[in-house]
A = this chain, B = another copy of it.
Amino acid sequence: MSQTPFSESTTLVTNEESPAVTQKQEQILQGAMRVFLRSGYAGTSMDRVSTEAGVSKQTIYSHFRDKKGLFKALIERVTIGNFQSVFCDGEFKDEPSVFLRDLTTIFFTKVADNPDYLPLLRLILAESENFPELAKLYARTVIQQGKKLLIKYFADHPELNVDDPEAIAQIFFGALVSHVIVQEMLYGKEMVPLSRDRLVNGLMSLVLAQQKNKES
């Protein structure tokens, strides 16, 4: 808890949240990712990680304090590395219907279609009680970023007539996330399929209807 699990490295440390990672640590994390994302925390053995990473068990323990330390380092890395800036570095159109549709497109292509997203979300939810700091990191990194962007847009566009931007942003992204959960995790695709297009169209008609009311 008090010492970092990472040793020194020649790689430049850009900021506190992405520590330098040596080639061996990289190798360990790659193997650990495959096993943890597939088998969960308790279902993963350090033996399996060592064979999957192609290093001995002791090598893992020399780089990471213990199983928990390895797990935390891995989840932080995957979360930050994959989803840190999906909603930040883009250029956005100002037209509401275009902006909202672009936002959903980013979510589906950069997040939902990322093959690591579903296993990561599953794992973070499963371990949210044992590793609350990882759950909070995920909420800040992935969910909160998109909501902030949408809230700011609502604030800049009073003509949309959005009474409670935070609530509407929560509903907007909640609908997207829950659609992925129901369709992909709970096998809704097989049982009650609902295309992304229909979801997005429904979502946009709801949000943009506020504007039309104001106009009339």
Interface residue ranges, A against B (CB under 8 Å): 39-43, 122-126, 128-129, 132, 135-136, 138-140, 143-144, 147, 163-164, 166-168, 170-171, 173-175, 177-179, 181-182, 185-188, 190-192, 194, 198-199, 201-203, 205-207, 209-210, 212-213, 216
Contact = CB atoms under 8 A, between A and B. Distances in A.
Contacts of A202: 163-164, 167-168, 170-171
B171 A175 contact: yes
Contacts of A128: 122, 185-187
A8 to B, nearest CB: 33
Interface of A, helix, strand, loop or mixed by DSSP: helix
Given A40-B126, A171-B199, A178-B178, 17 more contacts: A41-B42, A136-B190, A139-B187, A163-B201, A163-B202, A164-B201, A166-B194, A167-B201, A167-B203, A170-B175, A170-B194, A170-B199, A171-B203, A174-B178, A174-B179, A178-B181, A206-B206
Nearest to A138: B186
19 contacts: A39-B42, A122-B126, A125-B185, A128-B185, A132-B187, A136-B186, A163-B201, A163-B205, A164-B202, A167-B194, A171-B199, A171-B203, A174-B175, A206-B207, A206-B209, A209-B210, A212-B213, A212-B216, A216-B216
A209 B178 CA distance: 23
Stoichiometry, as copies per complex, reads: 2
Contacts of A42: 39-43
A182 B143 contact: yes
A198 B126 contact: no
A139 B199 CA distance: 18
A97 to B, nearest CB: 15
Contacts of A140: 191
A106 B73 CA distance: 40
